[in-house]
Structure 1
Amino acid sequence: MYKRSYFMIDTIDIGSLTKKIRLSKKLSLKDVAGDYLSVSFLSKFERGESEISLSRFLCILENLDVSIEEIYGILSKDNPTRTEELLARVSKAFQQNNIPALKKYYYEEIEKFNSTHKKIFLYNSILIDSFLISITGKKMNKKHIEVISDYLFDIDQWGKRELVILGNSMSAVPTNTLNLLIKEIIYKTTLFGNNEENKKIKIDLILNGISIFLERKELNYAKFYIDLFDTLTIPEVYLYERVEYNILIGTYWILIGKIEVGKKKIELALESLKNLGAENLLLMRENEYEELLNSII
């Protein structure tokens, strides 16, 4: 049976937001209704008294001259998904090195999975476990790696959850599997990966992948993604990512024997960090650079 697509967000919320935007732009109901909607229907929608199909809502956005991404950005701040709320709590605990809190969230998700058998809770628990691993340094459960890999390969479109799960699990994933999963980032985030936040996560994940391949001395994999990264359109404001990319290129040159070329690349990047006033990051990268040079002596 044919079913019309409706927004999952409460009609009152989306309707009142539409009215707020319309009034802010000094537009009348007639201006926004245009040739496709009646003024009475639009008025009922703004009051939360009428549902609306996606096609009609897109007509309203066109007349408001507002993109769907802008609407989502506004709504997501006031109506975060359960995953976004969980991720916010987990991220805060991670930043505070609060292991008891992370374990609490982990066991809550495990309990929900055991009682409902819904895999979303299993994936959430693995996501939380990946944060714990980042703090404690323990190895990820092999079964978890299999579950993550199967899940990510099976999803047709990756969103924030998938990007974060991979990002926190990369160091535990075997090289060949990691290579395939990073390729999935490129091909499976066309729908959800193009908003600004997810775009930045994608860029960071590719950089992390290059870093891991260099650490593992998998230079062919590293070179492939270095070349790929060079073809991406990186916003000029992503200064940190640009500096990190140059450090990774310099590391690659050093590891293949072009030491002076690599040293020059890294030292220019370190100078950029110094000019940006990123003292803690500069110290960390200087120590890594020293270790790299010592390793080739």
Structure 2
Amino acid sequence: MREIGQLISTFRTDKGISQAALAKDIMSPAQISKFERGLTSITVDKFFLLLDRLNVSPQEFDFELSHGDAPNKNKIIADLTQAVISGNRSQCELIKQAALKTYQRDKCGTNKALLLMINALMTRLDHSAFDQDSVDYLCDYLFHVEQWSSFEFLLYGTTMNVLPLPTVNLFSQDLISRAVPTAEIQQNFELIIVLLYNTVRLNLMNNDLLKAQYYVRSMENINFGGGGDKCREGSISN
């Protein structure tokens, strides 16, 4: 988590504001320089005056402080899912903007995938279309990751509703073979079972009973081990 002064500096530079302009009538440029470098503290009143001049709400600052540098992707998606369920569009936008800033700082594949996950979830809120370039990127990313971690399982589960059904079936057929060697990692194993249930649901929605039955039979043949009954009772995400 970044220090408060450093985050003030990040907001200031992002907005193209000089230290002198930000500090004017609030504190001296020397004081804000020390604050941004973590060498001194300031009063709460001055802190809120700085936020007001930066046009940053306390909620935005708190969110960026919690998620900015090394975002906990699982928590971001959990927070976004809750915001989508509750119809909180402003919170969704805050989460999306934080993920976008993270991607702009480090344009690695996982950061872009995280941003696409957020876009996919937000289509449920505004019923917008998911563009073909994003679909192509997700498919390419998932196909080229040989050993899925919990992030790839989360990515697939979050975006499977926006992927073409034939692609979903290809990935889910591969999940069946992944289930046994992954059984030692209980969290990933449970994710696989939920994803296969969701694949059944998607095929039933598309009136493909044979495919749905195929995945049901495949799950029945998976060696669940000690945690199997628990997995079967888990809820199916929508």
TM-score, normalised on structure 2? 0.59
Distance 1:152 1:165 in 2: 9
**Contact preservation (8 Å) 1:159, 1:189:** no
Distance 2:233 2:158 in 1: 19
Instruction: Flag the 1:168–1:201 CA change in 2: closer, same or farther, 3 A.
Output: same
**Contact preservation (8 Å) 1:157, 1:190:** no
Distance 2:153 2:108 in 1: 20
Which residue of structure 1 aligns with residue 101 of structure 2? 111
Matched, 1:169 2:156: no
Moved more, 86-95 or 191-200: 191-200
Which deviations, in whole Å up to 9, do the C-alpha atoms of 1:197-238 show, x marking residues without a partner?
Answer: 221111010000011001101223212211101112342234
Q: Secondary structure at the match of 1:140?
A: coil
Instruction: Flag the 1:239–1:152 CA change in 2: closer, same or farther, 3 A.
Output: closer
Matched, 1:101 2:91: yes
RMSD of aligned alpha carbons: 2.7
- Out of 90, 101, 105, the position equivalent to 2:77 is 90
Instruction: Flag the 1:146–1:91 CA change in 2: closer, same or farther, 3 A.
Output: same
Instruction: Flag the 1:101–1:87 CA change in 2: closer, same or farther, 3 A.
Output: farther
Which residue of structure 2 aligns with residue 225 of structure 1? 215
Q: Secondary structure at the match of 1:110?
A: helix
| Aligned AA (2:126) | T
Instruction: Flag the 1:140–1:126 CA change in 2: closer, same or farther, 3 A.
Output: same
Larger radius of gyration: 1
Which deviations, in whole Å up to 9, do the C-alpha atoms of 1:59-94 show, x marking residues without a partner?
Answer: xxxxxxxxxxxxxxxxxxxxxx945x2321331242
Distance 2:73 2:184 in 1: 22
**C-alpha displacement at 1:147, in angstroms?**
0.7
Q: Secondary structure at the match of 1:157?
A: coil
**C-alpha displacement at 1:100, in angstroms?**
2.1
Q: Where in structure 1 are there 5+ consecutive unaligned residues?
A: 1-80, 245-297
Matched, 1:182 2:182: no
Which residue of structure 2 aligns with residue 12 of structure 1? none
**C-alpha displacement at 1:124, in angstroms?**
1.0
- Out of 212, 221, 233, the position equivalent to 1:240 is 233
Distance 2:103 2:70 in 1: 15
Distance 1:105 1:175 in 2: 28
Identical pairs, percent: 15
Instruction: Flag the 1:222–1:109 CA change in 2: closer, same or farther, 3 A.
Output: same
**C-alpha displacement at 1:107, in angstroms?**
2.6
Distance 1:160 1:116 in 2: 21
| Aligned AA (1:91) | A
TM-score, normalised on structure 1? 0.48
**C-alpha displacement at 1:190, in angstroms?**
6.5
Distance 2:100 2:185 in 1: 31
**Contact preservation (8 Å) 2:120, 2:162:** no
Distance 2:207 2:196 in 1: 16
Matched, 1:198 2:188: yes
- 1:87-166 → structure 2 map (5 Å cutoff): 87-96=74-83, 97=86, 98-166=88-156
Distance 2:113 2:180 in 1: 22
**Contact preservation (8 Å) 1:170, 1:178:** yes
**C-alpha displacement at 1:119, in angstroms?**
2.1
Q: Secondary structure at the match of 2:233?
A: helix
